[in-house]
Amino acid sequence: MQKITTFLWFDDQAEEAVELYTSVFDNSRVLDIQRYGEAGPGTPGTVMTITFELAGQRFIALNGGPHFRFTEAISLYVDCVTQEEVDDLWTRLTAGGGEGSECGWLKDRFGLSWQIIPRTLTDLMSDPDPEKSQRVVRAMLGMKKLDIQALKDAYAG
């Protein structure tokens, strides 16, 4: 078992969320489901926690009730290789959710924030030439879903 596991609190949609997430990412699967018993606090037989993997990374989802909500203070960062991957993940994760304000951020239909980031962005922003890297940053700040070609064009000037 990995030393640190991200734990996600849902009202009562943990199972639905895990079904979506494991369908979106390759190398993903449900590992374990724990159900509420007679001791509660949830309805006996309903899902309490689901342990699952996304792209080999372990997570736990809890049906904990309406006490806490997700905020942008935490997000899941997805490293993408191609524009096709960015586009596919963007489409699948924004369905029923929405685009974030800028910079590749979105919210899925459960309120969880994701960053769908092409690796090209970090490569271009790491250029030691501050003019090139700042052109990339300015271009990124004007985008919701990131566009690799537009980032390359900004880099080139």
Residue-range domain boundaries for the chain? 1-68, 70-157
pTM for the complete prediction?
Answer: 0.92
- pLDDT attached to residue 40: 84
- Which pLDDT tens digit goes with each residue over 53-102? 999 999 999 999 999 999 999 999 999 999 999 999 999 999 999 998 78
Kind plus residue range of the DSSP H or E element containing 18: helix 14-24
Q: Which CATH fold topology does 1-68 show?
A: 3.30.720
pLDDT at residue 100, rounded to an integer? 86
Residue 124 has pLDDT above 90, yes or no: yes
Average pLDDT over residues 137-150: 97
**Contacts for 50-56 with beta carbons within 8 Å, 24 or more apart?**
50/14, 50/15, 50/18, 52/18, 52/21, 52/22, 52/28, 53/22, 53/27, 53/28, 53/29, 54/21, 54/22, 54/25, 54/28, 55/25, 55/26, 55/27, 55/28, 56/27
Residue 51, token pair as written in the block:
């342990």
Q: Which homologous superfamily does the CATH classification assign to the domain defined by 70-157?
A: 2,3-Dihydroxybiphenyl 1,2-Dioxygenase, domain 1 (3.10.180.10)
